[in-house]
Amino acid sequence: MLRLSKKADYALIAMAHLALKPGSSSAREIAESYDIPTELMAKVLQRLTRRGLLTSQQGTRGGYQLSRAATGITVADVIQAIDGPVSVTACSAHADRCGQFAKCNVRDPLWRIRELIVSALSRTTVSELANDNDAVNAVRSAQLVAVHGRV
């Protein structure tokens, strides 16, 4: 558990894709590159646009591109744009209002853990996401060949 939604997944994939691609890409183009349902990918991109992480261009040659440098966008930004604020517990969303857990005994320690997670997510940028992958993929391919004897 502690899984992030598929939409957030798709969002990160798209952001990494756009970080590497110089121009703009359409929703369809990105979706087909990664076998993601086109409409769903479109929806994710729309939300990212509304949150200001992307800029969109309508019309025949339209598409999306990053609104700012990939080095200035963190994984936390993307996830929170899609899934809302990161909240480990149900009550941490309302911060204090949580009748049931008036006597809750783990709220504050958990809140501290949440801070750790957020800081981990904030430390990784979309740029790193994209570049990391390039480097790693080369290694992975080599390993796959070594282990399974195929690409």
Partner DNA sequence: TCATCTCCGACTTGACTGGTCCTGTATTAG
Partner DNA sequence: CTAATACAGGACCAGTCAAGTCGGAGATGA
Considering only residues 69, 117, 138, 145, which one is a binding residue for a second copy as defined by CB under 8 A?
Answer: 117
- CA 90 – CA 88 distance, rounded (Å): 7
Contact present, 75 and 48 (Cβ < 8 Å): no
Binds 59: which of DNA, a second copy, none (CB < 5-8 Å by kind): DNA
| Residue linked to tokens 């994984």 | 75
140: its two tokens = 């992975």
Binds 23: which of DNA, a second copy, none (CB < 5-8 Å by kind): none
Contact flag: residue 42 with DNA (CB under 7 A)? yes
Dihedral (Cα; 5, 11, 12, 18), 10-degree rounding? 170
Site string for a second copy, 30-69 (x = CB under 8 A): ---xxxx---------------------------------
- CA 83 – CA 75 distance, rounded (Å): 12
- CA 37 – CA 54 distance, rounded (Å): 20
56 beta partners: 64
Considering only residues 42, 56, 67, 121, which one is a binding residue for a second copy as defined by CB under 8 A?
Answer: 121
Determine the residue type at 117: I
Q: Which spans of this chain sit near DNA (rule: CB under 7 A)?
A: 1, 5-7, 26-28, 37, 39-40, 42-43, 45-46, 49-50, 56-64, 83
Q: Which spans of this chain sit near a second copy (rule: CB under 8 A)?
A: 1-6, 8-9, 12-13, 16-17, 33-36, 75, 79, 83-84, 86-90, 100-110, 112-113, 116-117, 120-121, 124, 128-130, 132-133, 136-137, 140
